[in-house]
Amino acid sequence: MEKLITIRSIAAPLMLPNIDTDIIAPMKRILLNGDEIEKYGFEPLRFVDGDGDAGILNPEFVLNQEQFKNAEILLCGENFGCGSSRENAPEAIVGMGIRCVIGTTFGGIFFKNCVNQGILPIRLKEQDIQELVVLSKTGEETLVDLENQNITLSTGRIIPFVIDDFQRYLLMEGLDNAGLTLKKAEAILEFEANDKLNRPWVYDLMERCEQ
């Protein structure tokens, strides 16, 4: 995973609410084109008739527009990434060159999956997002600074944002957190040993029953 510290880019507005992970990463494509999911990201919106095989780009889709083609920041409508837990959704987004998604609310699982795929998800107030949407049409770039947790608009205004320290650390260091947690394996096993006395049913049958 690439380390992420600052992003300077134009921001592309995709303001439809409730864009779900089936739209972002259609199951058909996960199964048939799993290794190149970015080619089919947002298939139902990105291609005419939602048909990625015919491959005719829908000019209404923001990332197909000349001005936004190379955007690394995506401005999203509410509840972006709702639905299925599939991590192929942020994988498709990062494969399309997006490193930061900004919205009012996100699907909860999607939000965490973004961090694990090296995308910075930022929650902002509706009015701040509206300002970003207006500014996006000017062609000016926005600066997102993860270390200092703020966004500098092209007008010079600075908007602070909050992200969990641990998620920020993972994004900045590009770490595999299972490896970090495994260093605490002894504490986990000790927890289980004590827990077994209080809640034996959690362990007993699973460890005993024949497989």
Partner 1 sequence: MGKTIFEKIWDIHVIEHLPNGSDMLHIDRCYGHDLSGTMAYRMMKKQGYKPLNPALTVSIPDHTLSSKAGRTIDDTPISKSFMPAFEELSKEMGIRMFGLNDPRQGIVHVVGPETGISLPGMTAVCGDSHTCTHGALGMMAWGVGTSELYHVVTTQSILVTKPKLMQIRLEGTRSPDVEAMDVILYLIAQNGAGFGAGYAVEFTGPVIREMEMEERMTICNLTVEMGSEYAVIEPDDKTFDYIGGREFAPKGQMMEQLVSHARQLRTDEDAVFDLDITIDVTVIKPQISWGISPEHTVGIDEMIPGADAVAKDDSLQKALAYMDFKPGQAMLGIPIQRVFIGSCSNGRLSNLLRVADVVAGKQVADGVEAWIVPGSRLVKREAERLGLDQIFRDAGFLWGEPGCSLCGGCNGERVAPQHHCVSTTNRNFMGRQGPQSRTHLVSPTTAALAAVNGCIVSVAETV
**Residue with tokens 């990332």, as numbered in its chain:** 63
Cβ neighbours for 26, distance < 8 A, ≥ 6 positions apart: 40, 43, 44
Q: Nearest approach, Cβ of 25 to partner 1 (angstroms)?
A: 11
* Residue closer to partner 1, measured from CB, 9 or 90: 90
* Residue closer to partner 1, measured from CB, 5 or 175: 175
Rounded CA gap, 208 and 211, in Å? 9
* Residue closer to partner 1, measured from CB, 26 or 41: 26
Rounded CA gap, 131 and 74, in Å? 14
Q: Nearest approach, Cβ of 155 to partner 1 (angstroms)?
A: 26
- Give exposure, 195-207, as e/b (b: 16+ Cβ within 10 Å): eeeeeeeeeeeee
**Interface contacts to partner 1, rule CB under 8 A:** 15-18, 20, 22-23, 26-28, 30-31, 43-44, 49-51, 77-79, 82-87, 105-110, 112-113, 116-117, 164-166, 176-179, 181-182, 184-185, 187-189, 191-192, 195, 198-207, 209, 211
Q: Nearest approach, Cβ of 197 to partner 1 (angstroms)?
A: 11
* Among candidate residues 38, 37, 44, the one with its CA nearest the CA of residue 19: 44
